[in-house]
A and B are shown apart, each in its own frame.
Chain A
Amino acid sequence: MSDPVSDRKRVSLDRRTFLKRAGLVSAGAAVAGRLSRPGVAAAQDATVRPDPAAKRGGTLRYGVHTAPAHFDVHQSGTVANIGAQSPMYDTLLRRSPKDGQTVIPDLAWKWDISPDGKKYTFHLRKGVKFHDGADFTADDVKATYERIVRPPKGIVIPRTPLFSTVGDIVVVDPHRIEFRLTEPRPKAFMLGAFASGWNIIVRKKTLEENQGNLRQVMAYPGTGPFKHVSRKDKEIWIQERNPDYWNKGLPLVDRLEIYHMMPFSAELGAAFLSSKLDYARLLDPVSWRKAKEMPGVTAAAFNQSVIQAVWMNMKKKPLADVRVRRAMHLAMDRHTLVEVVKDTAPMQVGGFVYPFHEMSTPRADLEKKLGYQKDIKPAVQEARRLMKEAGYAQGIKGLDFVVRDANTFKLWAVAIQAMLKEHINIECNLRVVQISQWFDEVGGGNFDLGISAIVSTLMDPSDYFSAWYGKDGPQNYSYWTNPAFHDLANQIERELDDSRRKAMVRKAEDILESDPPLLPVSYEQIYDAWYNKVHGQNPSTFFGIYDVVRWDNVWLG
């Protein structure tokens, strides 16, 4: 089996052959279009190619987030790592930079899924080299994924649960590897997991030499389009074009200068508006709106995989009562909460499932439900009725509300405090703490209410249903349990039919609405802006900032 990218240069194409093949391809496409899985076949032939109009060369100055806390991308959960390190690495599969959604080949040029959905076989490219000159083989993929699936002691990888059904990882030959699942999972879920930007392929030798811990190893070799040049902590990471990149013709820019700047900060906005950056990610709304008005600048907003929420400690008596939690859920004026932070961070209204995901209740329908309407009177009326029914008609006093020390949370906490007081006479005392203390307090159960944000890797509910809402889930800070939901979530994980899954997710939403495990505040958006000389990147349809940050197809006009 051969790698189409390496073979491409050996093929000579005369006019007659071209016409024949074009006819065959057209006929094939027409037939394939009527088959049941059109997307997969098309996606498998969609390796990123350079834009024919692209110019080569130049330096892209990109501002994104503060410096990473360590260098181990697998162990990270922040864009501080992905934003700076992703251009140096590849993944087995990736999301297309055109839409940020379609799963396309990367180091695996092709994949097969067994009919029973329990075996994923990846065909790896030949001739790929790590930056230190070593050949890339299936052993590196196995070492990488063995670490992700079964991390050694002292290594914590947030994506491990995505691969909970992966049993054996078998190297068939140096360029073919099989993942054998103990039970099947939806294909979109598994392919999305393999295409996650976090799951970069690292050398087996690198892992062995560092006892599996890369937290303090700055520039371990990757196979990616850019190579490490230098780094100044908390300032800049400079990378240069990898001349031996397997995807010939890419990358298009010669050099990347990645500047570390606080997200949503005036400093990042000022650096972009004064043209010290070509591309800025995570702009604050004020700078973003200013950038949008500037000639020669494009500004885009897109969805991020983060929910902002209030957790309620169900070990405390009043909050264990489902009616009280439902009443608090209904007492939140979510449209106002989005408005409150509109100059601090971009947000949107949503419920318990990503509001922009195909399986969730459509936004128009959601906004007809109590708790999401612009006119909150009916919701407040129902909330008061529930409080009365629960025996708290006079309200509740003295709830300890632990607030993470960040602008958005502080603004929201004050607004939520006022809403709870005004709508259902619940009085809270705000306690602002640093992020590290927040997790200590909430993790230790020393709170009544706590506001923070959590993230998922995939948009697929099966990724976060167990982490956020699962019994003993790592981010189920409310200590919430609901047997009906847990059973349903298990079924959703295993259901392979998309339409049946969708119906089950809607049913799960209903359970969450009636027995809230948390109070959804809003869902984050990301504001990017770039000068129009930057081509090849428009994240408007992306989901999150973790999957498409390679910059290999971006060019400067």
Chain B
Amino acid sequence: MRKYLARRAVYAVVTLLGVSLSVFVILRVLPGDPLVAILGVEGHASMKPDDRVRIMADLGLSAPLPVQYVHWLGDIAAGRLGKSFFRGDTVAALIAHRGPISAEIAVLALVISWLVGLPVGILSAFKPNSMPDGLARAMSVLFIAIPGFWLGMLIVLALLFWFGYKAPIIVVHAWQDPWQNFQIVIGPGIVLGLAQGAYIARMSRSCLLEVISEDFVRTARAKGLREMLVVMRHALPNALLPVVTISGVLLGFVLGGSVAVEQAFGVPGLGRALVTAVIERDIIVVQNLVLLYAVIFVAVNVLVDLSYAWLDPRIRYS
């Protein structure tokens, strides 16, 4: 187990170094001048070459690229994560302030996806090709197909025009005001959760259909166990493994989807901060946030792998 963990840790570090290098290089080779956002159109137009040299040096952009990259890694190792190009706010402070909102949305989406997807999948699997199964399959295709940001915008507009309602417009943490906080995260949580729930419903249905034709399920039924017990104690645990795997992958979709959905709902989370940073070409913020998303994605996938042993005692890591 330790060997396995060490190997996974090495893979994770290599993956993250690859991500960091890619994002660092991409952001620097992309065309466009970050000084436009800093100085504005008029300031940029009237900037003299001397001014440019001085400002680029102030921003740490005049050093050779390898030096800039090493400085960044040093900042990460020291936990500083660097400062926004523009206002001088630290990226660590940004993550501490906005991260909890995005984390709540991701967790809520995951919980909703399981709460909705699993029962629908079970129902579909045990009544295959029935009316509820058909409805469930149609709904799951619908929720997979609908773009989250579009659904989000519809919800925002419907609430606004029918009820004159809009969720709080600035960050309110759960420990400051749980009700206000709930209003911020519930919309994106539902939109992202329903989309992921559709995947889980389809995956759990197909896995369960496979498992319920196995001998041990037939044996359980032959012993006279009630159908509920057969499902909950025998079939479901064996069908869960692929569902857990896909949940790890789906978390990546939730993280990616939250960028657009947070924007649609006007939620001041990390996804929105990333969009703004991209527009501003605040490359320090962009590279740190992309790396943070990569860290979360890698960590979740390691946890998913480790959960296999817990879900299926036959699996052993060596």
A residues with a Cβ closer than 8 A to B are 66-71, 75-78, 153-158, 160-161, 213, 215-216, 218, 232-236, 259, 261, 266-267, 270-271, 273-276, 433-437, 439-441, 443, 452-455, 467, 474-475
The answer to whether residues A261 and B169 also contact, given A75-B39, A266-B156, A440-B33 and a CB cut-off of 8 A, is yes
Q: Indicate with 1 or 0, residue by residue over B40-58, a CB within 8 angstroms of chain A CB atoms.
A: 1111111110110011001
* A77 and B41 within 8 A (CB): yes
14 example contacts (A-B, Cβ-Cβ < 8 A) are as follows A69-B87, A154-B51, A156-B39, A156-B46, A156-B48, A213-B58, A216-B86, A218-B87, A233-B87, A234-B273, A235-B170, A267-B169, A439-B44, A440-B32
User: CB of B174 within 8 A of chain A?
Assistant: no
Q: Is B160 an interface residue (CB 8 A)?
A: yes
A454 B87 Cβ-Cβ under 8 A: no
Residue of A nearest to B281 (CB): A436
Which of A435, A437, A452 has the most C-beta atoms of chain B within 10 angstroms of its own C-beta?
A435
Interchain CB contact under 8 A, A67 and B87: yes
Residue in B closest to A67 when the chains form the complex, CB atoms: B87
Contact of B43 among A67, A75, A270, A271 (CB under 8 A): A75
Q: Is the CB of A437 within 8 A of B31?
A: yes
Please report the C-alpha to C-alpha distance between residue A158 and residue B41 in the assembled complex, in whole angstroms: 9
Give chain B residues whose Cβ lies under 8 Å from the Cβ of A452.
41
Q: Mark B245-261, 1 if CB is under 8 A from A, else 0.
A: 00000000000000000
Q: How far is the CA of A453 from the CA of B273 in the complex (A)?
A: 26
Known A70-B38, A154-B58, A274-B160; contact A436-B32, beta-carbon cutoff 8 A? yes
CB of B34 closer than 8 Å to a CB of A: yes
**B residues touching A (Cβ–Cβ < 8 Å)?**
31-34, 36-48, 50-51, 54-55, 58, 84, 86-89, 94, 97, 153, 156-157, 160, 164-166, 168-171, 266, 268, 272-273, 276, 279-281
Assess the A153–B51 pair: CB atoms within 8 A. Answer: yes
Residues in A neighbouring B50, C-beta threshold 8 A: 153-154
Of B34, B160, B266, B281, which is within 8 A of A273 by CB? B160
CB of A274 within 8 A of CB of B170, answer no
**Closest residue of chain A to B35, judged by CB?**
A436
Contact between chains at B266 and A77 (CB < 8 Å): no
> How far is B45's CA from A8's CA once the two chains are assembled, in angstroms?
46
Given A69-B38, A267-B266, A153:B54 Cβ within 8 A: yes
A345 to chain B, nearest CB (A): 16
The answer to whether A77 touches B40 (Cβ under 8 A) is yes
Q: Is the CB of A78 within 8 A of B40?
A: yes
CA distance A88 to B318 in the complex (A): 65
Cβ contact within 8 Å between B276 and A66: yes
CB-based contact B268/A436 at 8 Å:
no
Query: Is B171 a contact of A69 with CB atoms below 8 Å?
Result: no
- B267's nearest neighbour on chain A, judged by CB, is A267
| A475 touching B87 in the complex, CB below 8 Å, given contacts A156-B47, A232-B170 | no
Is the CB–CB distance between B37 and A234 below 8 Å? no
Are B40 and A76 touching (Cβ within 8 A)? yes
Residues from chain A with Cβ under 8 Å of B94 in the complex:
233
**Chain A residue at minimal CB-CB distance from B46:** A474
| A77 (CB) vs chain B CBs: closest residue | B40
Assess whether B164 is in contact with A273, with CB atoms less than 8 Å apart. yes
How distant is the Cα of A76 from the Cα of B88 in the complex, in angstroms?
A: 16
Chain B residue with the shortest CB-CB distance to A452: B41
* Contact assessment for B169 and A259 in the assembled complex, using a CB-CB cutoff below 8 Å: yes
Query: B37 contacts A270, CB within 8 Å?
Result: no
Among the listed B45, B87, B157, B268, which residue makes an inter-chain contact with A71, where contact means beta carbons less than 8 Å apart? Answer: B87
* Other A-B pairs, 15, CB within 8 Å; known A433-B32, A435-B41, A437-B33: A69-B87, A156-B47, A156-B48, A158-B42, A234-B276, A235-B169, A266-B153, A271-B169, A271-B266, A273-B166, A274-B165, A276-B168, A437-B32, A440-B31, A441-B31
Q: Please, how many angstroms separate the alpha-carbon atoms of A489 and B64 in the complex?
A: 45
How far is A461 from B183 in the complex, measured between Cα atoms in Å? 50
Looking across the interface, which residue of chain A has its beta carbon closest to that of B165? A274
Cα A68 to Cα B276 in complex, Å, equals 12
A274 touches B164 (CB 8 A): yes
- Closest beta carbon of chain A to B138's beta carbon, Å: 30
Bound together, the chains give a CA A236 to CA B171 distance in angstroms of: 10
Check if B36 sits within 8 Å of A234, measured CB to CB.
Answer: no
Q: How far is the CB of A23 from chain B (nearest CB, A)?
A: 50
Cα distance, A435 to B37, chains bound together (Å): 8
Contact partner, B51, options A156, A437, A440, A441, Cβ 8 Å: A156
Q: CB-CB < 8 A to B88: which residues of A?
A: 215-216, 218
**B37 to chain A: which residues have CB within 8 Å?**
69, 435-436
- Check A70–B87 contact: CB distance below 8 A: yes
Q: How far is the CA of A67 from the CA of B170 in the complex (A)?
A: 13
Residues of B within 8 A of A232 (CB): 97, 170-171
| A-chain residues with CB within 8 Å of residue B58 when the two chains form the complex | 154, 213
Q: How far is the CA of A418 from the CA of B206 in the complex (A)?
A: 52
Complex contacts, B157 vs chain A, CB 8 Å: 266, 270
Known: A77-B43, A234-B273. A435 touches B169 (CB 8 A): no
**B45 touches which one: A213, A218, A433, A474 (CB < 8 A)?**
A474
A213 to B57 alpha-carbon distance, docked (Å): 14
In the bound complex, residues from chain B placing their C-beta under 8 Å from that of A259 are 169-170
User: With contacts A158-B40, A436-B34, A439-B36 known, is A236 near B170, CB below 8 A?
Assistant: yes
Q: Return the chain B residue nearest A287 by Cβ.
A: B160
Report, nearest first, the 4 A-B pairs whose CB atoms are least far apart. Answer: A154-B54, A77-B40, A436-B32, A216-B88
B36 to chain A, nearest CB (A): 4
Contacts of A453 in B (CB 8 A): 41
Interface centre among A267, A273, A475 (most CB of B within 10 A): A267
**One of B32, B47, B48, B55 near A434 (C-beta < 8 A):** B32
Q: Which of A69, A77, A276, A441 contacts B42 (CB 8 A)?
A: A77
| Nearest residue, chain B, Cβ from A261 | B169
A485 to B168 alpha-carbon distance, docked (Å): 54
Residues of A within 8 A of B33 (CB): 436-437, 439-440
Task: Identify which of A78, A156, A216 gathers the most chain B CB atoms within 10 Å of its CB.
Answer: A156
Taking CB atoms, residues of chain B closer than 8 Å to A161 are 46
Contacts of B87 in A (CB 8 A): 67-71, 216, 218, 233
Q: Which A residues lie within 8 Å of B84 (CB)?
A: 233
Partner of B55, one of A67, A77, A154, A266: A154
Which of A153, A158, A475 has the largest count of B CB atoms less than 10 A from its CB? A158
The answer to whether B89 and A270 touch across the interface, beta carbons within 8 angstroms, is no
Q: What is the minimal beta-carbon distance from A85 to any residue of chain B, in angstroms?
A: 12
Report the Cα distance A78→B38, complex, angstroms: 10
For residue B52, give the distance in angstroms from its CB to the closest CB of chain A: 9
Contact A155 B170 (CB under 8 A): no
Q: Is the CB of A439 within 8 A of B41?
A: yes
